[in-house]
Amino acid sequence: MGLAKTEIFTDNQNELALIGKVFAHPARVAILQHLFKVQSCVCGDLVDEIGLAQPTVSQHLKELRNMGLIKGDVEGTSVCYCVNMENWNNMKEKFKTFLDQQVSLDEECC
């Protein structure tokens, strides 16, 4: 398998790609939607809500935590997760800037 050559891209381009990768799985989107709806959640509740096995949900939570979009606090034998609003807002701004780019063409090119 070839190397991604991420070093030839800007930090912003790499970060946008990583965030996009996190959103590339519907389970992670569903987890985020559920966390926004209830504002905090215990992992066991997520298993029931998402309908996937505990190890699968845990792996998706790990991906979201690694990206900094969620954070979790240990409560006994469970971890209570919530959206990391500071990082969420930063990510939203980065994507908003990217998606708000305008193309001005004098004539149709394609």
- Which of 23, 31, 82 is closest to 52 using CA atoms? 31
Using a pLDDT cut of 70, give the percent of the chain over it.
91
State how far the Cα of 97 lies from the Cα of 110, in Å rounded to an integer. Answer: 25
Q: Give tens-digit pLDDT for 71-85.
A: 988 777 778 899 999
State how far the Cα of 28 lies from the Cα of 13, in Å rounded to an integer. Answer: 21
Query: Please, what is the average pLDDT of the chain?
Result: 87
In the structure, what pLDDT confidence band is assigned to residue 57 with cuts at 50, 70 and 90? very high
The answer to whether position 78 is within a domain reads yes
Counting the structural domains of the chain, the total is 1
The answer to whether position 70 is within a domain reads yes
Q: Give tens-digit pLDDT for 32-53.
A: 999 999 877 776 788 888 899 9
* DSSP per-residue codes, 17-51: HHHHHHTTSHHHHHHHHHHHHHSSEEHHHHHHHH-
The answer to whether position 59 is within a domain reads yes
pLDDT of 69 strictly over 70 = yes
